[in-house]
Structure 1
């Protein structure tokens, strides 16, 4: 048997791999950071053996409650990912699985590689609705890609959609596929109407370095990009620096930042209610959007989510808070689960790439509903 993770997004440390029923592993920390929770590795040579794979020292991981009720994902072909029995005892996650083939992959959530992202962006540029732009380079020298969809024009609204500030939250990339494919479907009346009224600026992957390195939450130098929006620098957070500079050029009427949450088994929206300048207009826009998304997708709900910040106490280093405060726009964070949706479960796949795509598609219907209300 062999455990390996030297591939795009891979992350694991082998403690012991001598017996199938007692494979012991640890999750390394993000570079220059104490965050760890993302894992992704390959097990070879264990076909038809009853395996117990133990991920240890998780009581000190980034979000220990995230392991409660969690089931790991596995795949033979890295396309279809299914859930496998997993138990958490407070410090160790034990994955119990008998692989039918000699090569099987396990991960925290269905991985989304930087190569897949590059292929997806390359495929989209064939659309006459899309123009591509490289805003700059990351600390590892990777491109920061921006897609502009539709034509800017007099009276058109400016909408920004970004994803994967936290690289381990790969559901954001799967969501992007569904959202962008529907937005570019010229036979879809919702997409056509939306693009008549707005131009979209989309950053499919805000954190290419963390994605390739297999980080949970940070970029190459250990910066949590979603705490860099007030004062980004080229030395620490060029990803945010370049995107924010472009936003200042275009202006912003709408901003959606797509994430995943380790602990909560729900899809939900977090807003900027704690901002000093939070207004009844922003509150009304957010409610309108959420109400429309509930109708568009039964997988979305509004009863559960983060505790709302007290007035005036919001952390303005966070993208959503910074955007709402700076541009007086509708800015929101969309969160998806690593686990499954407790109200609409799928026992085989849990929350999955395909369901992420479907939620991405549904958000376009919510955008259509709220666009007329964004006009000042």
Structure 2
């Protein structure tokens, strides 16, 4: 029996792996950080007995309440990821698996590989409707890539989509893939109208270093990028610095910053009600966007979400609030669950890569509902 994580986004430490009934593992912390929650590993075993995998250090993870009601995902082909029996027992995460083949992968959520990330960029470029813009490099020397979709022209709205500031929130890049698939479909009426009215500036992966390293929340320096937006630096947070500079040069009329939430089993958005410049126009745009998304998909809801910020008390180090204040525009954080959507549960797959992509597609309907009102 062998357990390994020596691959893209891999994360696990082996404590004990000589008995299928008692496999003991631990999740590694992000480099230079105390954050940890993401795991991704491969189990190779020729035993047909039930395998019991215990992740023993979840008690002190970044979001310990996130393990309640959570089910791990597994895959035999690294394409289809299904939920497996998972319980929180004596402050340990216990995964029970009945092997159908010698080799199986387990992960916190369906991984989005760096190879697929590069495929996504060049799929978009090959459409003839998108341009790849290289903004600079990360600390590990990877490209910070942005897609410009549509033809810039005077009067067109500038819509920004950023995803995966927190690398373990892989559903965010699945969301972007779904959005791009629809946006680049020349036979889709929503996409055609949007590209007549707007240009999309899309950063599918804000944190490629953390993604490849198997981090939950930070970059190669152990920095939480979504707390860097007021004063980023090339030394600590080049990813934010480079994207922020491009925003200042280009302008922003709307931002969706896409994330995943460990605790809440719902899809929701977090707005900018706490920024000092918040006004009736921003509130009207937020309401219009939410109402349109509610009509577009039953996967979205507005009952559950984060507590609203008090007036003037927003944390301006966060992307969506810094952008809202800097550009006086509609700016949302989009959150998806690691667990399942409690309103539409799926016992086999939970909230998944496929459902994340479909939400990305549906979100364009809500963007269309507000595009004429953005300026």
Q: Same fold (TM over 0.5)?
A: yes
CA contact (8 A) 2:270 2:332 kept: yes
1:204 is matched with which residue? 204
Distance in 2 between the 1:203 and 1:154 partners? 22
Distance in 1 between the 2:195 and 2:354 partners? 24
1:119 is matched with which residue? 119
CA contact (8 A) 1:167 1:216 kept: yes
Deviations, residues 115-158 of structure 1 (Å, cap 9, x unaligned) = 11011111211122111111000000000001001011111101
Task: Look up the SS of the partner of 2:220 in the other structure.
Answer: coil
Distance in 1 between the 2:329 and 2:47 partners? 54
Displacement of 1:99 in angstroms is 1.2
Task: Look up the SS of the partner of 1:21 in the other structure.
Answer: coil
Distance in 1 between the 2:89 and 2:307 partners? 27
- Alignment map for 1:43-192 (pairs within 5 Å): 43-89=43-89, 91-192=91-192
Task: Look up the SS of the partner of 1:139 in the other structure.
Answer: coil
Task: Look up the SS of the partner of 2:175 in the other structure.
Answer: helix
Distance in 2 between the 1:115 and 1:226 partners? 24
Q: TM-score, normalising length from structure 2?
A: 0.99
Is residue 372 from structure 1 mapped to residue 372 from structure 2 by the alignment? Answer: yes
Distance in 2 between the 1:285 and 1:254 partners? 10
Distance in 2 between the 1:296 and 1:49 partners? 46
Displacement of 1:47 in angstroms is 4.7
Deviations, residues 146-205 of structure 1 (Å, cap 9, x unaligned) = 100101111110100010000000001111111001001010000000000000100000
CA contact (8 A) 1:164 1:172 kept: yes
1:349 is matched with which residue? 349
1:261 is matched with which residue? 261
CA contact (8 A) 1:45 1:102 kept: yes
Distance in 2 between the 1:224 and 1:317 partners? 10
CA contact (8 A) 1:58 1:90 kept: no
Q: Residues 246, 50 of structure 1: CA spacing in aligned structure 2 closer, same or farther, 3 A cutoff?
A: same
Unaligned runs of 5+ in 1: none
RMSD after superposition: 0.8
Distance in 2 between the 1:47 and 1:82 partners? 21
Displacement of 1:48 in angstroms is 2.1
- Alignment map for 1:292-303 (pairs within 5 Å): 292-303=292-303
Distance in 2 between the 1:201 and 1:82 partners? 32
Distance in 1 between the 2:48 and 2:307 partners? 46
User: Number of matched residues?
Assistant: 375
1:239 is matched with which residue? 239
Distance in 2 between the 1:33 and 1:104 partners? 29
Distance in 1 between the 2:285 and 2:306 partners? 19
CA contact (8 A) 2:20 2:47 kept: no
Task: Look up the SS of the partner of 1:221 in the other structure.
Answer: coil
